[in-house]
Structure 1
Amino acid sequence: MQDRVLLETKRLLLSTELNLKQICVELGFVETAHFCQFVKLKLGMTPTQFREHAAVI
């Protein structure tokens, strides 16, 4: 289950301009803080850092 959520997180961060709150709602997270913790744990960076890093590549 977490793998699917992570895959969808990456897709939404890379292919949309949705803000973090919108992505949280889309993925079923109640709190943005929990979403950010989940992403940081899985990717080693915050959602914003992931988006910025991908934009550089």
Structure 2
Amino acid sequence: MIYWIIVGSFVLLILLAAYAMERKRARKRYPEEYSREAANNAMHAAEKEAASRTWMDLP
């Protein structure tokens, strides 16, 4: 009986460590993601500005 408790706790510890490593990897952001996100934000800002200019700044 004690054997299965030790084995079960060891397996649980391994699963918990794997889950923690996966969460840490999922949170890691790479520099190219930041630059891609900044480029997307800049493009959307330019599109919004152009769209607002078309109907607000009519002659």
- Is the TM value for this pair above 0.5? no
Point out the structure with the larger helix share. 2
Per the shorter chain, which TM-score range?
Answer: under 0.3
Identify the structure with bigger relative contact order (alpha carbons < 8 Å, sequence gap 6+).
1
